Amino acid sequence: MNAQVIALVNQKGGVTKTTSCVNLGAGLAQAGEKVLLVDCDPQSSLTISLGNPHPDDLPVTLSDIMGKVLTDQPIAPGEGILHHPEGVDLMPANIQLSGMEVSLVNAMSRETILRQYLDTVRRQYTHILLDCQPSLGMLTINALAAANRVIIPVQAEYLPAKGMEQLLQTVKKVRRQINPKLLIDGILLAMVDNRTNFAREIAVLIRETYGSSIKVFDTEIPHSVRAKEASAEGGSIFAHNPGGKVADAYQNLTREVLKLEKQREKSRAGISR
């Protein structure tokens, strides 16, 4: 096994990055994949959403692990990793991670500290999902340097084009300077309220604006209170409301992500022949 590393990234907050990370992770686990979720955000939304309401009390978090990489200390197998009842593993975060952002600024190989850690665990998983903070700071750069794929969740409530442009420029820059393997899987339209014409128009506009150069996932994640309730309960939408439209949407997204992988493997196999 050598994990696919997928960064869920958007420097805008509140676009369901964390919800999508939890539910895509749980969807992949249901499909029989081995999944590690990594909380790359000092706000610890992912950690809290997976049933750890007091992240500051956790003995080992991502900042400790990255600190060990920085100081060349050994990391014990499975150190800091938490197991969730829905079959996903979690590398949690807490507020200490904001201090790590500062430490990275003067570090050697500062963009690749997270990648160096993931290299120690990637053979144990088929998928590693990185929940990025809502900024394009050093932690997000680390996530993009460690990933081979990017999913960009976008809210279909207003035109996020300016922010999108900036994010796409950052991805291009990381690909050019640090990580040539980085590919954009696609834009994920989330919090889509199909009862309003405005949301439908925005969805169409995003597909028209970016669809020719970047895949926009067929799956749209509907606006729903249920997804927020699931996070408050410390689990995925599949545990909270398995027959609902949001669970259906994340199941479809999981299929799309796996299908994309297979297509890429096929085309790589074709090229190497």
Model pLDDT for residues 242-265, shown as the tens digit of each residue: 999 999 999 999 999 999 999 998
- Domain limits of the chain? 4-272
Tokens 């309960």 -> residue: 233
**30 has a pLDDT exceeding 80:** yes
Quick count: other Cβ atoms within 10 Å of Cβ 218? 12
Question: Predicted confidence band at 161 (pLDDT cuts at 50, 70, 90)?
Answer: low
Q: What is the pLDDT of residue 252?
A: 98
Read off the amino acid at residue 201.
Answer: E
CA atoms of 106 and 97, how far apart (whole Å) = 15
Transcribe 195-238 into DSSP letters.
Answer: TSHHHHHHHHHHHHHHTTTS-EEEEEEEP-HHHHHHHHTTS-HH
Per-residue pLDDT band for 159 (boundaries 50, 70, 90) equals low
Confidence grade of residue 69 (pLDDT, cut at 50, 70, 90): very high
- Single pTM value for the model: 0.96
Please tell me what DSSP assigns to residue 59. Answer: S
How many angstroms separate the CA atoms of 182 and 34, rounded? Answer: 21
- Contact by Cβ (8 Å): 79, 41: no
The pLDDT tens digits for 176-223 are 999 999 999 999 999 888 788 887 888 888 888 888 999 999 999 998
Q: What is the 3-state secondary structure (H, E, C) of 106-160?
A: CCCCHHHHHHHHHHHHHHHCCEEEEEECCCCCHHHHHHHHHCCEEEEEEECCCCC
Class of domain 4-272: alpha beta
CA–CA separation, 222 and 243 (whole Å)? 14
pLDDT band of 11, cuts 50, 70, 90: confident
